[in-house]
């Protein structure tokens, strides 16, 4: 290995399924994410299912964002337009930084597979308490697209020219400087 090569750094990733009907036994989207992140060498740090309820979603993600063993939270479900789809409403107000590029790239990848139907998703991403949070649709296909097309590379320290892992130590700089208060 040369001095410019990087080693893989496994991350602790939590998977949250947002659903009123799913259980761990039939959660295909959560299974898809868990299988892919473990196959990539990361650690499944936590996994849960919560109902389509803003407070339940927000509380679980906030708890995980405060856990030093969790670097990333990926949610699946609740990104559509029905009355029960509230995951973006639960999480976007507490994003310290919003990641507009994640949504844009997700929709670009999704468009190639499902065409204009991609507009029915409100996939989003951001940072909460120096933890990356990605909000995905509830289908296994959308979870595969997001992981394979975006997250696998961005959560791999070896990915160049840049990746999320290399900036993780600096996500809370604003808090250390006294410019913010953690949620």
**Per-residue pLDDT reduced to its tens digit, 122-131:** 999 999 999 9
- In this prediction, residues 7-15 reach a mean pLDDT of 97
CATH code that applies to domain 12-170: 3.40.980.10
Q: What is the mean pLDDT of the chain?
A: 93
- In this prediction, residues 129-144 reach a mean pLDDT of 97
CA distance 106 to 91: 18
Token representation of residue 64: 């995980």
pLDDT band at 173 (very low <50, low <70, confident <90, very high): confident
Q: In the predicted model, is pLDDT for residue 4 greater than 70?
A: no
Q: Where are the domains positioned within the chain? A: 12-170
- In this prediction, residues 87-107 reach a mean pLDDT of 97
pLDDT of residue 154: 98
pLDDT of residue 183: 52
Specify whether the CB–CB gap between 149 and 141 falls below 8 A: no
DSSP codes joined into one string, 100-161 = HHHHHHHHHHHHHHHGGGGGG---EEEEETTEEEEEE-SSHHHHHHHIIIIIHHHT-TT-SS
* pTM of the full structure: 0.93
pLDDT of residue 177: 58
- Which DSSP category does 26 fall into? S
């Amino acid at each position: 290995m040369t001095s410019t090569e990087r080693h893989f750094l496994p991350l602790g990733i939590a998977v949250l399924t947002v659903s009123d009907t799913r259980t761990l036994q039939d959660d295909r989207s959560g299974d898809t994410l868990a299988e892919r992140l473990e196959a990539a060498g990361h650690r499944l740090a936590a996994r849960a299912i919560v109902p389509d309820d803003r407070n339940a979603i927000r509380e679980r993600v906030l708890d995980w964002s405060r856990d030093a063993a969790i670097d990333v939270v990926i949610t699946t479900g609740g990104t559509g337009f029905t009355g029960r789809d509230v995951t973006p409403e639960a999480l976007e107000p507490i994003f310290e930084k919003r990641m507009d590029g994640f949504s844009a790239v997700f929709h670009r990848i999704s468009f190639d597979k499902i065409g204009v139907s991609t507009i029915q998703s409100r996939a989003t991403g951001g940072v909460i308490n120096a933890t990356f949070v990605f909000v995905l649709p509830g289908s296994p296909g959308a979870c595969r697209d997001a992981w394979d097309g975006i997250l696998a590379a961005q959560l791999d320290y070896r990915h160049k020219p840049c990746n999320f892992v290399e900036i993780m130590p600096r996500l809370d700089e604003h808090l250390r400087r006294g410019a913010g208060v953690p949620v």
